[in-house]
Chain A
């Protein structure tokens, strides 16, 4: 079975020859302005935290990135399930692109967390439950990308990726539970409990929204690039 012999799906015909459309430009503009606003909110608008001082301001980005990383991996899971169910190439591409972005986000979460941990905990890294879970999450999706790269056949890679996308996501709660039992040090979430002062909450929300828009923008561009790559491959094949 070869993917090249399949007819072009409808979604692809719309993107044929396309680069960035007006929606992409709009999202890019929202991100460009939004990041400036988010930086202002985090560094100027939000009050300085009493105990940790200015160091705490990394929180707005660190937690936003972490939420988005989870969103990205949920999209991988969703795309994997729909791919196995409907065999839609589009969902497979979405899953793979989301995994790439999720790995980048998780890497940034680990780096920002490390930068925050050094002055507050006095160490770059600690084997606390949340940190350990995030690290394992990162490892699972790096392996996901390797698996995709090492699968010689396109369809087979898509199926294997989908299986790992499902197994990996199902593993996260159990990993979380096992390492929580193992040990814990990371601050408990303060956002749901309403313990955060309103100005800090606003600064956080701005950051979260901007990063979410940025994720959507990245996904749109990344999926488009994949389609164009497929299209080029198909054209090259038909040329001989």
Chain B
């Protein structure tokens, strides 16, 4: 078991190190999230009296769009440089590859969200950072990344892969978006924890079910 976890951490470290050296992903994702927020500002003419009602939706659109950008790179960069074959030939468990990629994607998305949230607060003068919100964001992002990592591996091997990835991820992640936005609204409205417990449970259930399911079927994606 230690060996298996060792494989996961080695693969994860490889991705983090690649990002540290190339800086291809995080900057782009964060800037894109910022531009989405900027676009919404013009689209809705955000002011202090209406920002509260649209903030949850805007945040989650920015998070998920930036997430898609990162997910798309996670397998494409392996494939473009022929590293995927090396990974598959290496004596590494396929499930370990999935877990490492999932953790990497989750990490990149959380970093981008941690940057985007203060930027949102600053530009729209709307402070919403609470521990409850952190939990909502973590659970929502985990579900999105679990499904997204599996589909990113699939999309990397299809024609029109940049088109395929969002088409695969968004319909399946509808429950994540609904539950995350609803829970975020409740946090903003200052509801108690019991108020959004139902949504948090749904997010946790989605994470658990699809985390396990994607983990199990991943080996079928990369068998060849």
Taking Cβ atoms with an 8 Å cutoff, the residues of A that contact B are 1, 84, 136, 139-140, 143, 146-147, 150-152, 156, 159-160, 162-164, 166-168, 170-171, 174-175, 177-179, 181-182
Q: Does the CB pair A147–B171 fall under 8 Å?
A: no
A2: min CB distance to chain B, Å: 12
Q: Does the CB pair B178–A178 fall under 8 Å?
A: yes
From known contacts A163-B154, A174-B209, infer whether A136 and B159 are also in contact, taking CB-CB under 8 Å: no
**How many residue pairs, one in A and one in B, have C-beta atoms under 8 Å apart?**
85
A37: min CB distance to chain B, Å: 37
Complex interface residues of chain B between 121 and 180 (CB less than 8 A to chain A) = 147, 150, 154, 157-160, 164, 167-168, 171-172, 174-175, 178-179
* A140 CB contacts on chain B under 8 angstroms: 171-172
Q: Does the CB pair A167–B224 fall under 8 Å?
A: no
Report the bound CA distance from A73 to B198 in whole Å. 28
Please choose the segment from B74-82, B89-97, B107-115, B212-220 that sits at the chain A interface, where 4 or more of its residues have CB less than 8 A away.
B212-220
Q: Does the CB pair B171–A136 fall under 8 Å?
A: yes
Q: Does the CB pair B214–A167 fall under 8 Å?
A: yes
Report the bound CA distance from A136 to B160 in whole Å. 22
Please provide the 7 A-B residue pairs with the shortest distance between their CB atoms, ordered closest to farther: A178-B175, A139-B171, A150-B158, A178-B178, A174-B175, A140-B171, A150-B159
A187: min CB distance to chain B, Å: 22
* B157 CB contacts on chain A under 8 angstroms: 151, 156, 160
A-B contact pairs, 6 of them (CB 8 A): A136-B171, A143-B171, A146-B167, A151-B158, A164-B168, A167-B213
Q: Which secondary structure dominates where chain A touches chain B? A: helix
Report the bound CA distance from A139 to B174 in whole Å. 11
From known contacts A143-B168, A159-B223, A178-B175, infer whether A170 and B213 are also in contact, taking CB-CB under 8 Å: yes
Neighbour of B202 across the interface among A152, A171, A177, CB < 8 A: A177
Smallest Cβ-Cβ distance to A168: which chain B residue: B172
Q: Does the CB pair B160–A150 fall under 8 Å?
A: yes
Q: Does the CB pair A147–B158 fall under 8 Å?
A: yes
B21: min CB distance to chain A, Å: 32
Whether B65 sits at the interface, judged by CB under 8 Å, is no
Whether B206 sits at the interface, judged by CB under 8 Å, is yes
Q: Does the CB pair A160–B209 fall under 8 Å?
A: no
Q: Does the CB pair B174–A175 fall under 8 Å?
A: yes
Report the bound CA distance from A179 to B174 in whole Å. 9
Report the bound CA distance from A185 to B206 in whole Å. 25
Whether B221 sits at the interface, judged by CB under 8 Å, is yes
Q: Does the CB pair B174–A178 fall under 8 Å?
A: yes
Q: Does the CB pair B217–A182 fall under 8 Å?
A: no
> Which of B164, B172, B209 has the most chain A CB atoms inside 10 A of its CB?
B172
Whether B40 sits at the interface, judged by CB under 8 Å, is no
Smallest Cβ-Cβ distance to B161: which chain A residue: A150
Q: Does the CB pair B224–A1 fall under 8 Å?
A: yes
Smallest Cβ-Cβ distance to B198: which chain A residue: A181
Neighbour of B182 across the interface among A150, A168, A171, A182, CB < 8 A: A182
Q: Does the CB pair A171–B175 fall under 8 Å?
A: yes
Whether B17 sits at the interface, judged by CB under 8 Å, is no
Smallest Cβ-Cβ distance to B173: which chain A residue: A171
B36: min CB distance to chain A, Å: 22
Neighbour of B217 across the interface among A1, A136, A152, A167, CB < 8 A: A167
Whether B205 sits at the interface, judged by CB under 8 Å, is yes
Neighbour of B220 across the interface among A136, A159, A175, CB < 8 A: A159
From known contacts A146-B167, A171-B172, infer whether A163 and B209 are also in contact, taking CB-CB under 8 Å: no
Neighbour of A178 across the interface among B167, B202, B210, B221, CB < 8 A: B202
